[in-house]
């Protein structure tokens, strides 16, 4: 019996976001939260009932302790976080927009404690106690040593028989598409499951195709040992299973009110991984779409959603008042 | 000359609702309001200019006094409320959702002062001073003694010549459809005006039909002395007048932005009763739809809307800025 | 070289607006901002990089100083404001509605310091240092002396070779259509650029036509030395250039989420004037539509938008998250 | 049996106050309340269980309705308010300070509906249904017609046998001490009970004395048919009963945390009048001091305090937690 | 090696408190927190670095999950909580006062899930894994079954060699002094450490004495196997060690600004227990006073204070700014 | 005639502070302001009517623009700020405490745009247009290049005949006392006016003495060309004029309610410099004390105080309500 269903390895940042659609230059108050793509996945899976553990390096100050404590509140094991008295907690300002004005992220994450994590820091024995490892392209972009950690943890996970999912998660404010492509291609080749947005597939990897399925086939020709999944913005998601050669597609929820779009892709990842853990890719897409839609209605990065709520949505519930 | 156009008899609860679509587990602040279906109707009618009085039993503590005082602010006579030093004020937590996540009500209303009201408590002489009595299925569900009070007040009102409206208002978190059906059928038979949502008609009374009108005809065959009205979710409302055998239908407002959906049905009731008080069922549907649409834009349970605003909406106003 | 690209002459008021769609009667907190159509234009142009100056008369108290200070923050020169120890700062309460409930403005602006400004107060020498003067029908409605100031500044501006734009900006709570028509016709005849909404064109000037272009042609027959522009509510805007006899039309942004609709027309004015300053009417319409759409997403009167953001919208950006 | 224990005649204003000690120039949000010295007295007495009625003239807009509705919530009869479609509701901005920075009031109350009230407006028959009339120097300062109303209501009240209390309530931002003295002396002579702060006694009436009692004796020589009361800032209050020639003094509460000092003097008035209504001047001072101290801890103008809370304070309670 | 330094057994309630000293009747927003005397002790000790576990019974709804999740955030083990789908989470409204107005607690805690806990529910094997058990008189007051649980857990703890602390914590809104005395005397006799406030010692147990030490001696004659501690309101605390016959006294922090007084006594308990766990009663008093003073400055029930902060206070730190 | 009364050279940071005394780990919202010791001085002097200019280097992003824009609102010239597209805006988290819990500053200011400013960046010609230059030990601590800029600007200012004030402003979280002493001694020797707190004088420079005056004499023996001023915590301030050999002392305001203590020392500096600009050291101390006391009552770093308010305080005003 393994102890953890999922290990998520990456960075969490303090998130300072505007309220009521104010611009940063006019705001006098900010919401004070935190998040990071890998922890977001770990929280969502924990809320569904999985045992998850988040691996990271954190500055031992109130900001770092806030992050670890609140992840604990949501059910994620943070007892293996590496603490350091040096270094800072990365952060970002989020100016929440409304169409046609985009939300804008102002990163201030350089030199974070996480970005300085080394091979010696990583709690390697944990890999032997888990079924699945989740990695993303953001950690790969943080620093050379982080890139090394992602590559090495991917390699060791395979040796130990864990499944590894890799979300490309391209961030234009961290690196150029060319840099990302060069760095991420080897990782995507080795991952069992690769998840990428349609726009990142085109922008980073130059993948083309008249249909999502055609793009997916191209991706599968280059990447992933087992499965490639692609999210299609407000049009659902598709996946391709290399062993069976089958395509899967799932429709998105029909009406989604946007409360907070940050973390939506991570919620999809969590649902898709849950499906994979159950050995059911079609269900993974459905769970992913449902979690993403529900996440969209919740402030903050985390998909604070119960399994029952996901099931009700998949069964056709659509809002209203439960009373 | 009667003193009151309407008596509304029922319970008000403290309402603790989340802000900014937060989940209860992440919230640190709650909006602190109150409401209850019958008082909601009384407030809406008072704002339209009718003399209304709310009959209930309240704990004599700051929560009870808050409820009575603020109903007074909105023009409802609360001088006949029964005060008790024992008992509590019922309450509910409202987790406000956004599609596709439903709003969720967590009731904590057992053993409220109202649920322990007895026949001796009721201010029976008031019935002689009013034109109309409004009752609902929620009060009937609170306790045996409350059920007795609803039945008895309905009986006496008829003896005294008042019109009685009855809104079925089924609440799945209070009782099962079967329980509700058994309890409410005799009341619906005796009421002059029965109001029910399309989904409650199906769920509680098993009413079927290919069209709303067909369902309405079935309902009218079983219930109400004079009129049955049915609301059709975002598709307006219909009514059937047993004396004339005529059907009426009214379209909803074309665009409605949802600020707070609690109390929308009660706002419809108020508009529909206003039409009935004017002897005009078609206008009742129109007023009901208009009040419901305007209520949807106002935080809290109460339809704080003037007659002028209702008339402007019926005349085609549609938002924008009046300046 | 002129010192100012634009002079804007008019009144700013304190703006006290409800939060979360509350009605004034239930609110306990109000947002405390300010604005005025001419200053709104000056702010928007300043954010685009133009040198703008706001001419007005203000009470020398914390409210007046707040207005001048914050306009300075947004880049508008307020060093020529006329200060007075007498008089008050006008204000308005804004009850923010949601469809189908209109937002409602309750003006309390009588006897403001601005309304008592005289010909002697105006800093006439400034006209010689500017390229453009912006005036509106609101200032003309404030008082007889203000009407005189608008007329005289228009006259002198022409003598000095400035372009003058005039936005009709009819306000039903200030005067009747008949009063406005009588007062504004002479001003509209003399202005170089006249801007008017489609509904004001019909309501105030009785302009009719089967198409916006037909209405525009009628307007151009009566008003403006050079250009007439007309905004079409959610359907974009049109303009007619008298010298070339050409019509221009621009589509609105496809999806616009309404955060705050006050100041939208002023944002259009700013964009349109920017186009005119560049000698390009078609671009003026496009900039005006883009600024109006972006303003709609920003709380308060001011279009706090950079030139880059406008260009990105015109290039097809549509929301999402920039990160 | 009289219907009202007290009639209070005067003006209420909208009160827009800063939060968290912000300066007006930096604030973006204001608390939105209302108050006025006479209504404050009426509310405090209503909360103690007396029947009170507030006489005033209000603009029939959301601000006026808010004032009347919320006074109703606190138990004051507002059914005799004179409503007008013209005119405005006066208002003031309150910049809340902390020592050594004073709180600052910025009045904007000219031309209010109340200031234009005439002798014809006043509901004279009400005087025959009341025991006591409360007037203040603020109403006398509002306008000539208001001064006339104060004088006339004082005269008629005496004819009808009501007791009349008059609080000098000098406001430096309304008139000079000389103006106030000339206007208020005749009113103070005729009132049964005159209440004045020690500093106003000196500043307005030039009253001197080595002790409060000496000053009181001087005041009593010039003013009031029956009783003069004087408040001594944080040092309690004194009163002199002309019929018995006795002096009374009461100590203030030992520790008072200042939450909101507006309305403190009015709370004293209410307590003192309550004592007089019970025929006990010493108790009036004690009640006044207790109410003033409790008011100091409550946000807003109104002393929302129960009789039980006053009695507990007089019996020695001093804060802590009741649980 | 034991697994837990401390087990705390008791109830947590949702705590709905007013903001800015508002009265409940005027509030529209409440702070939404939770707490309970035993969990408060467990949190404070966890923050100091001890392994603590909280034993309770909770309704499995968002309120119960919020309590358990957030206790987890603060480092308390909640994995042994008994969950039930029936029952409610108790709650209280806290109206925060300021001197001379007391804060007022309005309990609504009857029929909570915890009050219905039975002997079968309790996780008895945990006792074998802990060094210390903390109990209070509040749990004893909740219900007969809760009283039985307190008595039985005290008995078994002794058998297993745990130390047991018992805080009398009399609550006038739960029972009378006579009821409390009868119920608590046997428990206080058996506990190793008894903690009581000076006023409860007098009010509940009728203990008298000219000095705190004299009262303490009387208490020690009746109660506790080893130590009695008594808190003296703003005057520090005293303790008596029965084995050595020595008295201890500690002064309070010289200046304490009251932000939130709820939980202050519990913070003292935690510090005192920490001292006892270190075998140093004098230090227990010092730690208790320091924690209580620091708690007073923190909103909510929990003493979120690090060991370093306590040590700095004991070393003489006194506020200011650390930068 | 010089253009500027004062140039202030230094860094501003974003300031993220907790509300209602929350701990960072429990907060969900932060106040979003900014400040820096030199800009704080410039703002305070600008509010008193002096022409001030702030020299700094800022990242050209919304945070940098917010700082510059809002300083402009308060009257400080920011047109000479050096803008860079690289680099970040430094920031700090402020956890506001209450006695005995200290407020805690968590700096995150490394690698800010300002810390990378070079000699080439500084707008040297400005020195010729000013009367006074204000520098502090914080800028000297930021980086080597900043230290060089402080030293060089001090040198050049003397050449050009400006007076230079230097506030030691030791920050324990930036460097050790030994580091600060070594770096600051040469600067303090050359400055015309040196300002230091009593505790920094002891901690950094090892200055001892039985009285403040004795310490001051020691300081004057080592530092400053003309004047040394020392602030004595809540006990006022002292100064020594080397040319006259005279000591000056000023008492603090008697009662000061602490709203926000950040910036208090800077407010003193501004007042003291104002006195020096008037050639009156005694008045400088008085103005400094008054400004510091008033600043204490205002949220944020800036002393938003008018000259009139300072004069009223010096004339004996002490709080209350101005109305």
Q: Is the CB of residue C259 less than 8 Å away from at least one CB of chain A? A: yes
SS3 F250: strand
Nearest to C297 among A21, A25, A92 (CB): A21
Q: Taking Cα atoms as reference points, which of B321, B287, B315 lies closest to residue B41?
A: B287
Nearest CA in chain B to E299: B28
Alpha helices (H) in B117-211, listed in sequence order: 137-142, 144-160, 177-190, 198-205
Q: Quick one: average pLDDT of F177-183?
A: 98
Q: Quick one: average pLDDT of B176-203?
A: 97
Of chain D, the percentage scoring pLDDT greater than 70 comes to 99
pLDDT recorded at residue C1:
63
Q: Taking Cα atoms as reference points, which of C292, C240, C303, C283 lies closest to residue C265?
A: C292
Q: Note whether A21 contacts C298, CB cutoff 8 Å.
A: yes
- Name the DSSP letter for residue B4: B
Q: What is the pTM of this model?
A: 0.97
Which residues sit opposite F77 in a β-bridge?
A: F53
Q: What are phi and psi for residue C235, nearest 5 degrees?
A: -120, 25
Query: pLDDT tens digits, residue range C162-186?
Result: 999 999 999 999 999 999 999 999 9
| A99 contacts on C by Cβ (under 8 Å) | 253, 255-257, 297, 318-319
- B33 pLDDT more than 80: yes
Q: Is the CB of residue D91 less than 8 Å away from at least one CB of chain C? A: yes
Domain B6-311 fold is 3.40.1190
- Chain-wide mean pLDDT for chain A? 96
Query: pLDDT tens digits, residue range B97-116?
Result: 999 999 999 999 999 999 99
Q: Is the CB of residue D82 less than 8 Å away from at least one CB of chain E? A: no
Structure confidence at residue A320 as a pLDDT band (50, 70, 90): confident
Query: pLDDT tens digits, residue range D159-187?
Result: 999 999 999 999 999 999 999 999 999 99
- A255 pLDDT more than 90: no
Q: Note whether B297 contacts C101, CB cutoff 8 Å.
A: yes
- Distance (Å, rounded) from C-alpha B53 to C-alpha B35? 15
| C70 contacts on F by Cβ (under 8 Å) | 73
The nearest CA of chain D is from the CA of E117 a distance in Å of 24
| D70 contacts on B by Cβ (under 8 Å) | 73
Of chain C, the percentage scoring pLDDT greater than 70 comes to 99
pLDDT recorded at residue A317:
76
- F85 burial level (CB within 10 Å; 0-12, 13-18, 19+): exposed
Q: Residues near F163 by Cβ (< 8 Å), separated by ≥ 6?
A: F131, F132, F133, F157, F192, F193, F226, F276
- Distance (Å, rounded) from C-alpha E306 to C-alpha E48? 6
pLDDT recorded at residue F1:
62
∠ CA B132-B77-B169, rounded to 5°: 50
Structure confidence at residue C316 as a pLDDT band (50, 70, 90): confident
Query: D108, D111, D299, D304: best mutation site toward chain C, by most C Cβ within 10 Å?
Result: D108
pLDDT recorded at residue A323:
83
The nearest CA of chain B is from the CA of E43 a distance in Å of 18
| F70 contacts on C by Cβ (under 8 Å) | 73
- State the first-to-last Cα distance of chain E, in angstroms, to the nearest integer: 41
Helices E198-205 and E177-190 cross at an angle (nearest 10°) of: 110
Do B216 and B228 form a contact (C-beta atoms < 8 A)?
A: yes
Nearest to B99 among A299, A319, A322 (CB): A319
The nearest CA of chain B is from the CA of E69 a distance in Å of 8
∠ CA E184-E187-E188, rounded to 5°: 85
- E318 pLDDT more than 80: no
Q: Residues near C198 by Cβ (< 8 Å), separated by ≥ 6?
A: C212, C215, C230, C231, C232, C233
Q: Is the CB of residue B102 less than 8 Å away from at least one CB of chain A? A: yes
Q: What DSSP letter does each residue of B213-253 carry, written as one string?
A: HHHHHHHHHHS-SSEEEEE-GGG-EEEEETTTTEEEEEPPP
Question: Please, which residues 42-71 of chain B have a Cβ atom closer than 8 Å to chain D?
Answer: 69-70
| B253 contacts on C by Cβ (under 8 Å) | 99-100
Q: Quick one: average pLDDT of E46-54?
A: 98
Query: pLDDT tens digits, residue range A168-190?
Result: 999 999 999 999 999 999 999 99
Strands B29-35 and E29-35 turn out to be antiparallel
pLDDT recorded at residue E10:
98
pLDDT recorded at residue E233:
81
- F40 pLDDT more than 80: yes
Q: What are phi and psi for residue F313, nearest 5 degrees?
A: -65, -45
Q: Residues near B321 by Cβ (< 8 Å), separated by ≥ 6?
A: C102, C103, C104, C105, C261, C262
Query: F35, F259, F321: best mutation site toward chain D, by most D Cβ within 10 Å?
Result: F321
- Which residues in B50-77 are b (16+ Cβ under 10 Å) and which e? bbbbbbbbbbbbbbbbbbbbbbbbbbbb
Q: Which chains touch D (3 or more CB pairs under 8 A)?
A: B, C, E, F
Nearest to D30 among C32, C65, C110 (CB): C32
| B106 contacts on E by Cβ (under 8 Å) | 61-63
pLDDT recorded at residue E1:
62
pLDDT recorded at residue D1:
63
Structure confidence at residue A316 as a pLDDT band (50, 70, 90): confident
Query: pLDDT tens digits, residue range A211-254?
Result: 999 999 999 999 999 999 999 987 899 999 999 999 999 999 88
Of chain C, the percentage scoring pLDDT greater than 90 comes to 95
Q: Note whether B27 contacts E32, CB cutoff 8 Å.
A: yes
- Chain-wide mean pLDDT for chain D? 96
| B104 contacts on A by Cβ (under 8 Å) | 321-323
- Distance (Å, rounded) from C-alpha E177 to C-alpha E199? 11
* Sign of the CA dihedral with F68 first, then F74, F80, and F81 last: negative
In whole angstroms, how far apart are CA B99 and each of A48, B15, D82?
20, 21, 47
Q: Quick one: average pLDDT of B127-137?
A: 98
Q: Residues near E10 by Cβ (< 8 Å), separated by ≥ 6?
A: E36, E37, E38, E39, E54, E55, E56, E114, E135, E136, E138, E139
- F18 pLDDT more than 70: yes
For residues C322 and E198, the model is more confident at E198
Structure confidence at residue C149 as a pLDDT band (50, 70, 90): very high
pLDDT recorded at residue E147:
98
Q: Note whether F106 contacts A62, CB cutoff 8 Å.
A: yes
| B21 contacts on A by Cβ (under 8 Å) | 259, 297-299
CATH superfamily label, E6-314:
Ribokinase (3.40.1190.20)
- Distance (Å, rounded) from C-alpha A56 to C-alpha A78? 9
The nearest CA of chain D is from the CA of C165 a distance in Å of 32
Q: Residues near C269 by Cβ (< 8 Å), separated by ≥ 6?
A: C37, C41, C44, C134, C165, C167, C195, C288
Which residues sit opposite C83 in a β-bridge?
A: C58
Do F286 and F314 form a contact (C-beta atoms < 8 A)?
A: yes
Query: pLDDT tens digits, residue range A13-52?
Result: 999 999 999 999 999 999 999 999 999 999 999 999 999 9
> Is F260 among the catalytic positions?
no
Q: Residues near E150 by Cβ (< 8 Å), separated by ≥ 6?
A: E9, E135, E139, E140, E187
Structure confidence at residue C92 as a pLDDT band (50, 70, 90): very high
Q: Note whether D73 contacts B75, CB cutoff 8 Å.
A: no
The nearest CA of chain A is from the CA of F98 a distance in Å of 18
Q: Note whether F16 contacts A24, CB cutoff 8 Å.
A: no
Name the token pair of D252: 């203030």
- Distance (Å, rounded) from C-alpha E64 to C-alpha E84? 10
Q: Note whether B309 contacts C101, CB cutoff 8 Å.
A: yes
Q: Quick one: average pLDDT of C285-310?
A: 97
pLDDT recorded at residue A222:
97
Q: Quick one: average pLDDT of B175-182?
A: 97
Structure confidence at residue D254 as a pLDDT band (50, 70, 90): confident
Of chain F, the percentage scoring pLDDT greater than 90 comes to 94
Nearest CA in chain E to A67: E73
pLDDT recorded at residue B1:
63
């Amino acid at each position: 019996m393994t102890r953890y269903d999922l290990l998520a390895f990456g960075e969490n940042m303090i998130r300072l976001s505007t309220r009521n659609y104010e611009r940063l230059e006019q705001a006098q108050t900010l919401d004070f939260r935190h998040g990071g793509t890998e922890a977001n996945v770990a929280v969502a899976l924990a809320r569904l009932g999985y045992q998850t553990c988040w691996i990271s390096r954190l500055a031992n100050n109130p900001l770092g302790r806030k992050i670890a404590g609140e992840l604990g509140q949501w059910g994620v094991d943070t007892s293996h976080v590496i603490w350091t008295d040096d270094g800072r907690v990365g952060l970002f300002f989020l100016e929440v927009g409304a169409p046609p004005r985009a939300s804008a992220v102002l990163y201030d994450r350089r030199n974070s404690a996480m970005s300085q994590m080394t091979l010696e820091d990583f709690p390697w024995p944990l890999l032997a106690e888990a079924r699945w490892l989740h990695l993303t392209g953001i950690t790969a972009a943080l620093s050379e040593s982080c890139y090394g950690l992602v590559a090495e943890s991917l390699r060791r996970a395979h040796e130990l028989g864990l499944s590894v999912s890799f979300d490309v998660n391209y961030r234009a404010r961290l690196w150029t598409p060319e840099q990302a492509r060069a760095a991420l291609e080897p990782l995507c080749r080795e991952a069992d499951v690769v998840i990428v947005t349609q726009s990142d597939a085109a922008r980073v990897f130059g993948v083309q195709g008249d249909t999502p399925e055609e793009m997916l086939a191209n991706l599968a020709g280059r990447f992933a040992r087992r499965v490639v999944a692609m999210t299609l913005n407000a049009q659902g998601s598709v996946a391709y299973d290399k062993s069976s050669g089958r395509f899967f597609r799932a429709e998105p929820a029909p009406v989604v009110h946007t409360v907070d779009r940050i973390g939506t892709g991570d919620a999809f990842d969590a649902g898709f991984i849950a499906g994979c853990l159950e050995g059911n890719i079609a269900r993974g897409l459905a769970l992913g779409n449902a979690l993403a839609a529900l996440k969209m209605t919740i402030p903050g990065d985390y998909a604070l959603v119960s399994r029952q709520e996901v099931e009700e949505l998949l069964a056709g519930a659509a809002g209203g008042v439960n009373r």
